Structure 1
Amino acid sequence: MELWQQMIRDSVHTVDQLVEKFGLDHKVAQELDGFFQARINPYYLSLIRYPGDPIWLQCVPDKKELEDFDAEEDPLMEDAMSPVPNITHRYPDRALFLVTSQCGIYCRFCTRKRKVGDHEKISMKGLESAFKYLEEHTEIRDVILSGGDPLMLTDAMLEKILQRLRQIPHIEIIRLGSKMPCVLPQRITPKLVNMLKKYHPIYCNTHFNHPWEITPESSKACQMMADAGIPMGNQMVIMKGVNDDPAVVKELVQKLLKIRVRPYYMYMADETKGANHFRTSVETGLKILEALRGHTSGLAVPHFVIDAPGGGGKIPLVPNYVLHHDEEKIILRNYQNKIYTYKNYADKNNPEGFGTKVKKNGKNGKIKKEEFKPRRIVKVPVLEEV
């Protein structure tokens, strides 16, 4: 048995352990276990500095989870967009492939609480129909392995899946959606990365939410993946009491770049049953983004998105930097709130926007620019500073 597997076995997961280690009421602990089980491995448990800290909030069950009576179990409608078991096909050329129900820890804000931890909801029996679907749908060029966490599979099982995917000619990119580099970095071994690099191009999106999660162990894990040619991205969720502070996020994204993990997405928390006590206002996210843009490297600035309820996909949000927009000019503000004017041009090839159409004169071959009045003028109201 490998070290990471032993650490999974040694995790806090029973009602009695929750009562003993975290002082939960026994009845509440039982109700929480019936709703969404706990798993806190020894490594991640060791990162807790005090009760209620940003690490504690992410992994220790809370009675607030039982108060979301009206919230949706599947706000992103993943199940409705699942043509066969284990596959969610929302975007034209990408598919989500759920390969396991197990995780290194069970995050209390998980958007897939309805499935994660339940082997009957994400079953190995569904793999064959999933492979057949991917083979038949030639528009799919990008497959994201998720679950649960695909790195909860043994190296041998994961390699079987990768081999099969690489036999499908139209699949160009394989992505791993794994929190293991953050929550159980002992899973990232030389044996694993040597196996993974045989199936390039492989990318990995991981999930750090707080600077305290960047430790010598997690840094080594991410660097091993990067050294194996696996580009690393991070998907952070804004959560109350965890990272809803611009200074915390700035520290996080700068530290991520040092270990070769590119900040990729910063999400608003999903409207998931049992997780709504983590949610913040959209203005909080915009404030964080304003504190990053221009104040640190562009490499450190993630896309700020809402994964739209009802299966609408990821929708980006940005602070309002455009103050006015018409056929002659665009008035902009920068990160210091200084105002700048940029000359605009028209484009007959783009009647909904602005620009210049270039014509070539057939007689003398000269280039001629023609400006025109566009169909509409766009005036963007100035928002209050957030």
Structure 2
Amino acid sequence: MAALIPLTTAQPAADWRAALRDLVTSPEALCALLELSPDALGWSAAAMQQFPLRVPRGFVARMRAGDPRDPLLLQVLAGAQEMQQVAGFTADPNGETGRANPHPGIIHKYRGRVLLIVTGSCAIHCRYCFRRHFPYADNQNGRNDWPEALAYIAADDSISEVILSGGDPLMASDQQLTELVQQVAGIPHVQRLRVHTRLPVVIPERVTDDLLRALTPPRLQSTLVVHTNHAHEIDTGVAAAFRKVRGADITLLNQTVLLAGINDSVDAQVALSERLFAAGALPYYLHLLDRVSGAAHFDVPADQARSLHREMAARLPGYLLPRLVQEIAGAPSKVAVDG
């Protein structure tokens, strides 16, 4: 059994909006905080121009100073590898444009559920992000756009679940989310609300009482799906945020992306599952990398992923073993990567 890494404590921001105003956006600033040389890390100005550096200081505080291979640092490091053109890696790996994007701000790929893009903004730019090339400019979905997007959902009574996504939907204010969720709850055939977010992990102060009230309208069952890739991401502040979510009677699940050089070992995955459960989140999916342009250096081959998953199964109880899946454009659901 892998020993759990002790929880660290980052200095909390006074307010989540203050943390957003004070993001690290330059490699020089990030490296100064980590006592590292930008030249030694191989930063790429071209990669940063294509997809800018953006990371909260509280997340940086969980990185190991002086370690150029820190698993959290590698998730935000804009390197020259991103500029390589690799066969099979595309701008839209999951088929989210075209027919799957029938209305601005709506992605509708799977029967029974629809994804509503709340904002294109994120608090952190993860270099493997499958929507790093998504046409957010064509999918604006502000307050003035909600009526048409909600009318699309209301017109299809097969839709029982609405998924708030982005970007990160929790970049919207508590008031905006309250108004939007109330309108979603007013559609009779919608039974469930799901929110996909990284904010409770990278800025745990985002989990406010007003947010939890916004996400728990009386009529809908609510699920929060957070995105955590490594046990080091979960410090005492994140664990406290997770407990608040659970205390609001919201189902809390986690999705992880399998990333080469970051979490592609059985020890890393076992530690993550155990840390997640200790903090109140259930490991849900372990994703193969979405094959998005600029992220090929993170790819873990399917055979290696299957072998890793089998090792995890031998060391974890079933309820702590996430499903190993991949997304295939045009498939009617996530596809299990069977071992």
Per the normalisation by structure 2, the TM-score is 0.87
Instruction: Select the residue among 8, 12, 17 that pairs with 2:24.
Output: 12
1:311-338 CA distances to partner (integer Å, 9 max, x unpaired)?
554111222xxxxxxxxxxxxxxxxxxx
Q: Is the 8 A contact 1:92 1:140 kept in 2?
A: yes
Which one-letter code corresponds to 1:249 in the other structure?
A: Q
How far does residue 33 in structure 1 lie from its aligned partner after superposition?
Answer: 2.6
Which aligned pairs between 1:198-347 and structure 2 lie closer than 5 A? 198-199=217-218, 200-310=220-330, 313-319=333-339
Where in structure 1 are there 5+ consecutive unaligned residues?
320-386
Whole-Å separation in 1 of the counterparts to 2:188 and 2:234: 38
Contact 2:117 2:139 (C-alpha < 8 Å) held by counterparts:
no
CA 1:18–1:30: 2 relative to 1, 3 Å: farther
Q: How many residues align?
A: 318
Match of 1:55 in 2: 72
- 1:109-149 per-residue CA deviation (whole Å, 9 max, x = no partner) reads 10000138x55654425433211110111110011100011
After superposition, the Cα gap between the structure-2 partners of 1:120 and 1:31, relative to the gap in structure 1 and judged at 3 Å, is: farther
Q: Secondary structure at the match of 2:217?
A: helix
Q: Indicate yes or no: 2:173 matched with 1:143.
A: no
Aligned residue number for residue 211 of structure 2:
192
Q: Write the distance in 2 (CA, Å) between the matches of 1:16 and 1:241.
A: 23
Cα separation, 2, equivalents of 1:78 and 1:213: 29
Q: Secondary structure at the match of 2:286?
A: strand
Aligned with 1:73 (options 77, 91, 115): 91
State the alpha-carbon separation in 1 of the partners of residues 152 and 242 from structure 2.
32
1:256-295 superposed Cα distances (whole Å, 9 cap, x missing partner): 1111211110100011001111001112221222122243
> How far apart, CA to CA, are the structure 1 residues paired with 2:121 and 2:299?
25
Describe the SS at the equivalent of 1:197.
coil
Contact 2:51–2:132 (CA<8 Å) still a contact in 1? yes
Matching residue's letter, 1:57: L
Q: Which has the higher helix share?
A: 2
**Alpha-carbon distance, 1:52 to partner:** 2.1
Q: Could you say if the C-alpha distance between residues 195 and 130 of structure 1 is closer, same or farther in structure 2, counting changes exceeding 3 Å? A: closer
> Structure 2 counterpart of 1:59, which letter?
V
Comparing 287-296 with 76-85, greater Cα deviation is found at: 287-296
Distance of aligned partners of 1:270 and 1:206 in 2 relative to their CA distance in 1, 3 Å threshold: same
Task: Verify: 1:36 aligned to 2:51, yes or no.
Answer: yes
How large is the RMSD of aligned CA atoms in angstroms?
A: 2.3
- Structure 2 CA distance, aligned partners of 1:96 and 1:128? 15
Shift of the alpha carbon at 1:20? Answer: 6.2
Query: How far apart are 1:190 and its partner, in Å?
Result: 2.4
Task: Kindly state the Cα deviation for residue 60 of structure 1 after the two structures are TM-superposed.
Answer: 2.1
Query: 1 CA distance for matches of 2:21 and 2:335?
Result: 39
**Which structure has the larger Rg over C-alpha atoms?**
1
What displacement does 1:45 show?
0.9
**Residue identity matched to 1:40:** V
- In terms of fraction of residues, the more strand-rich structure is 1
Alignment of 1:176-187 (within 5 A): 176-187=195-206
Q: Which residue of 2 aligns with 1:98?
A: 117
Mapped to 1, the partners of 2:50 and 2:31 lie a distance apart of 16
| TM-superposition CA deviations, 1:178-224 (whole Å, max 9, x none) | 11121111111223223333344110111111111111011001110
Cα distance, 1:309 vs structure 2: 3.8
- Choose between structure 1 and 2 for higher RCO, CA contacts under 8 A separated by at least 6 residues: 2
Q: Is the 8 A contact 1:100 1:119 kept in 2?
A: no
Partner of residue 128, structure 1: 147
Shift in Å, 1:18? 6.0
- Structure 1 SS opposite 2:119: coil
Pick aligned residue for 1:114 from 126, 129, 133? 133
The answer as to whether partners of 2:111 and 2:332 remain within 8 angstroms in 1 is no
Deviation digits for residues 81-124 of structure 1 (CA, Å, limit 9, x no counterpart): 111011111111011111101112111110000138x5565442
- For 1:83, give the aligned amino acid: P
Report which stretch shifted further, 98-107 or 307-316.
Answer: 307-316
Separation of aligned partners in 1, 2:138 and 2:19: 24
TM-score, normalised by the number of residues in structure 1: 0.77
CA distance in 1 between partners of 2:47 and 2:58 (Å): 22
